Amino acid sequence: MVELVSATIHLYRQALRATGRSLTRSWITIVALIVFAFLFVGATRIAAPLGMAGGFLLGAVNALLLGATLRLIERSLSAARTIQFTDVTESFGHYFWDVIGIGFVLWLPTMALDMGMQANPYGQLFSSAFLLLLFILLNPAPEVIYQVRHDSPLDVFKTSYDFVLEHWIEWFLPFVVLILPVVLSPSGLREFFAISSRGGRGAGLDFFQILSLPFTMVGGWLSSVGIYPDVQWLLLLLLTPPVAIAILLFRGHLFALLHGSTRRQRLFARQLDMKQ
């Protein structure tokens, strides 16, 4: 048990060190995320009065911006050089159809669920439970898209599902630590279920969630240490973009370390390192 805890701590140290290196090389990704956020807000305002057509338009913009973000994270994980402005412009179009395909496959059952639960007095509870399950089982889908070869959305779902079953402790433990102040706040559970429901609908492939999740986390941490609300808003605006990128980088490095390995293999490798 002690060896397992030691191996897990070593795993997180590796991921954190790699995240720090990537973050110093990819500061322009933070700027790009801010620009993407303004573009997404603009697209939301344009799409709002267009009804169903606006929904399809916003879905396309979401796929474009999210795919570009994943491409930048991919480059940040592997590049030995600093990310340049040309990397930002080159990122557009990458993983667009991956995001669209996964969103479409999930859209049909979630729409059927919403329609079927309208007359059920416990419909909201069942829907939230189902979306929370999707949020958990498909949580690594963004990393699967840009790190694992796949031929269809079903391949992404299967890889994500298998990954969660094998590595659920190591994968979700950092998330639990980060989200704890939010859950313990007066309205924490409601905010958590709102985040998980939105994430479950799109397997985490939601550009809005990339910012809303760290925004909620940072807000929870600031509230827990007693920061004044007026100061909180300023800190939230300053901290949310870099925290969002840091989380994406950490997830990417952690996924790379976990994928294709087992807990026993990592424990054995850690024991060899300690003997050398």
pLDDT score of 153 more than 90 = no
Query: DSSP per residue over 215-253, as a string?
Result: HHHHHHHHHHTT--HHHHHHHHHHHHHHHHHHHHHHHHH
- Report the C-alpha gap between 25 and 82 in whole angstroms: 4
Angle between helices 96-116 and 153-184 (to 10 degrees): 70
Q: Is 26 helix (H, G, I), strand (E, B) or coil?
A: coil
149, amino acid identity: R
Helices (H), 79-187: 85-91, 96-116, 123-137, 141-147, 153-184
Look at 71-85, 102-116, 145-159, 233-247 and tell me which has the smallest mean pLDDT.
102-116
**Are 132 and 193 contacting, i.e. CB atoms less than 8 angstroms apart?**
yes
Higher-scoring residue by pLDDT: 120, 108: 108
Cα 51 to Cα 54, 100, 262, distances in angstroms:
5, 19, 47
CA angle 236, 140, 71 (to 5 degrees): 70
What is the C-alpha radius of gyration for the chain, rounded to an integer number of angstroms? 19
- Residue 260 is given by DSSP the state T
Query: What pLDDT shows up at residue 16?
Result: 93
**Are 94 and 122 contacting, i.e. CB atoms less than 8 angstroms apart?**
no
pLDDT score of 265 more than 70 = no
Query: What pLDDT shows up at residue 180?
Result: 74
Angle between helices 123-137 and 153-184 (to 10 degrees): 110
Model pTM score: 0.88
Buried-state track 91-102, b at ≥16 Cβ within 10 A, e below 16: beebbbebbbbb
Look at 75-84, 114-123, 225-234 and tell me which has the smallest mean pLDDT.
114-123
pLDDT digits (tens, 9 = 90+) for 172-201: 998 888 877 666 665 655 666 666 665 556
Q: What percent of the chain has pLDDT over 70?
A: 79
Domain count, the chain: 1
Expressed as residue numbers, the domain containing 246 is: 2-275
